[in-house]
């Protein structure tokens, strides 16, 4: 029997396909703050987080960056490489340290050709990822910062499955494409409402239900789209 994987996409594959993927994979530690892929660089690996969570960001010439997706155990980092691309479309930064896997891109391309189930799973995830990236553009353009902060915290909470998140206001300002003072004021508002609490480098979610009420519709839309994936629809 093939070994189970804590990455949900890999674990959804037929046993023979999963076994070959894990045989080709290197188990690695994702360290908090580590940049595992840089936008525009030649790609070397496809990454499958397990307990780790990563942000995908896009940078512009000024050096500013905007987050466009969050990837945890439900997904894969490098889906934009499916189909023959050789350079990273996004920068991937570890937001929550933990474990996961990486597979050399050349070997992964071979596995995609050899196993239709892997090919189909990657295409299904690519559809989900395209939806998330597209929605992030509209969300950052039109929704209030308090709605975006609520959406971001809920998305992270779903993936780490604990109430405490290791975050700073500087990190949040980059993820939400907002200035640090705006983020600090918004976080203080949620704190005064007893929805969250925070101290140095840690935010604690106190009232998830009220956080859901404050979030824009993007959180629920992305969650429902994620549940359409066979391995995430629980």
Which CATH number applies to 8-140? 2.60.120.10
Kindly indicate the confidence band of residue 130, based on its pLDDT and cuts at 50, 70 and 90: very high
Instruction: Say which CATH class 144-215 falls into.
Output: mainly alpha
Q: What is the pLDDT of residue 1?
A: 45
What phi, psi does 233 have (nearest 5°)? Answer: -85, 60
Q: What is the pLDDT of residue 83?
A: 80
CB 10 within 8 A of CB 106: no
Structure-token pair, residue 7: 């990455």
Q: What is the pLDDT of residue 46?
A: 97
Q: What is the pLDDT of residue 64?
A: 87
Q: Is the pLDDT of residue 4 over 80?
A: no
Return the domain boundaries, the chain.
8-140, 144-215
Could you tell me the CA-to-CA distances from 155 to 37, 76, 179 in Å, in that order? 21, 16, 21
Kindly indicate the confidence band of residue 232, based on its pLDDT and cuts at 50, 70 and 90: confident
Could you report the per-residue pLDDT of 14-43, keeping only the tens digit for each? 999 999 999 999 999 999 999 999 999 999
Could you report the per-residue pLDDT of 75-120, keeping only the tens digit for each? 999 999 988 889 999 999 999 999 999 999 999 999 999 999 999 9
Q: Is the pLDDT of residue 134 over 90?
A: yes
Q: What is the pLDDT of residue 3?
A: 65
Q: What is the pLDDT of residue 210?
A: 97
For 166, residues 6+ apart whose C-beta sits below 8 A from its C-beta are 32, 96, 201, 202
Between residues 74 and 171, the one the model is more confident about: 74
Q: What is the mean pLDDT of the chain?
A: 93
Q: What is the pLDDT of residue 16?
A: 96
Q: What is the pLDDT of residue 2?
A: 55
């Amino acid at each position: 029997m093939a070994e189970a994987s804590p990455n949900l996409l890999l674990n959804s594959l037929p046993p023979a396909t999963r076994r070959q993927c894990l045989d080709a994979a290197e188990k690695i530690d994702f360290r908090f703050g580590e940049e595992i892929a840089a936008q525009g660089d030649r790609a070397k690996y496809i990454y499958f987080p397990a307990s780790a969570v990563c942000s995908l960001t896009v940078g512009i010439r000024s050096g500013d960056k905007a987050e466009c997706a969050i990837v945890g155990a439900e997904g894969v980092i490098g889906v934009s490489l499916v189909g023959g691309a050789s350079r990273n479309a996004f920068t991937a930064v570890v937001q929550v340290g933990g474990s996961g896997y990486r597979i050399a891109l050349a070997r992964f391309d071979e596995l995609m050709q050899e196993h239709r189930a892997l090919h189909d799973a990657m295409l299904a995830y690519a559809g989900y990822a395209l939806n998330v990236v597209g929605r992030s553009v509209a969300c950052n353009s039109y929704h209030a910062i308090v709605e975006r902060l609520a959406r971001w915290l809920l998305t992270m909470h779903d993936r780490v499955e604990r109430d405490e998140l290791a975050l700073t206001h500087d990190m949040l300002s980059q993820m939400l494409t907002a200035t640090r003072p705006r983020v600090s004021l918004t976080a203080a508002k949620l704190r005064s409402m007893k929805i969250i609490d925070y101290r140095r480098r840690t935010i604690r979610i106190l009232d998830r239900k009220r956080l859901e009420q404050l979030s824009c519709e993007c959180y629920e839309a992305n969650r429902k789209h994620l549940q359409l994936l066979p391995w995430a629809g629980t």
